Amino acid sequence: MDNSMPMLSCLLFLFLQCGFSSSNMDIFILAGQSNMAGRGGVKNGRFWDGNVPPECRSNPSILRLSASLQWEEAHEPLHLDIDLGKTCGVGPGLAFANEVLRIKGESVNMVMGLVPCAKGGTKIGEWSKGTSLYNELVRRAIESVKGNSGRTIRALLWYQGESDTVREEDAEGYSHNMEKFIMDLRSDLHLPNLLVIQVALASGEGKYIEKVRKGQLGLKLPNVKCVDAKGLPLKTDKLHLTTVSQVHLGMRLAHAYIASTTHHHHHQFINHSLTSYVTS
């Protein structure tokens, strides 16, 4: 009987938990609703076709924080153990990470950590300070850098708002609620300049899509960038992005991140509470 495979698995686990714990890691929080969690390739809302484009393939330099707060090599679907009760498929996260690595060059020994937090079908009000979703996001963000000064939260990638297009009051209040969410999150993470890259809606559950988009595109907070998903092909449900669209979105998010860091890399402060250096 060959005992080499269990031993290799054990060594890989130790490498991920110990080896990467001492490495520098750029961390990105992924939050919002179903199009961030990923529905690319999901058929009839129940079955994922398993198709992983080259841009979304696993890479030893890209890790994810699991639901049990363990670092592991990231793979699709990124939100499998996070967006429970839903069938997850391809989202923008791995395409984003692979594109950042491609642009920066993998020779720089860069490790990227993805922290999936998105939940399908959620309104912005369900992410307000004190809610279970907000508390879990903060908890996972803090855990991602805990006890290691080499880990740095670089940005929040946010794609949400489709559920706020049903009621006009929700759509009109979106901008205020989003601004409050960002300010609260920055305060609770002690990251006053945290980069937020939000996605402007490509679709919605209701008829007030343009009102939500106006709120998204009109946010005036500093260090908040917007990537527009409008025009990206949708699945037949007219709500979720296709796998190919998710790849394009991930690449757009990567380019927005690179452009932001290129202009702001010289401003640095230390976050004592989270024991990490943060570049704003």
Residue 264 maps to a domain: yes
Paired tokens of 260? 């932001």
Residue 5 maps to a domain: no
Residues paired with residue 228 on neighbouring β-strands, in sequence order: 200
pLDDT computed for residue 276 by the predictor: 31
Residue 67 maps to a domain: yes
Question: Which residues form the domain of 36?
Answer: 30-268
Query: How does pLDDT run along the chain (280 residues), one tens digit per residue?
Result: 455 445 444 444 444 444 444 479 999 999 999 999 999 999 988 999 999 999 999 999 999 999 999 999 999 999 999 999 999 999 999 999 999 999 988 656 789 999 999 999 999 999 999 999 999 999 999 999 998 889 999 999 999 999 999 999 999 999 999 999 999 999 999 999 999 999 999 999 999 999 999 999 999 999 999 999 999 999 999 999 999 999 999 999 999 999 998 864 433 332 333 333 232 2
Residue 3 maps to a domain: no
Catalytic residue among 164, 170, 203, 240: 240
Q: What total of structural domains would you count in the chain? A: 1
Residue 15 maps to a domain: no
Residue 102 maps to a domain: yes
pLDDT computed for residue 262 by the predictor: 80
Residue 72 maps to a domain: yes
Is 237 known to be catalytic? yes
Residue 114 maps to a domain: yes
CATH of the domain at 141: 3.40.50.1110
Catalytic residue among 81, 237, 265, 273: 237
Is 34 known to be catalytic? yes
pLDDT computed for residue 187 by the predictor: 98
Phi and psi angles of residue 154, each rounded to the nearest 5 degrees, phi first:
-95, -35
pLDDT computed for residue 106 by the predictor: 62
Q: Is 15 exposed, middle or buried (0-12, 13-18, 19+ CB in 10 A)?
A: exposed
Is 240 known to be catalytic? yes
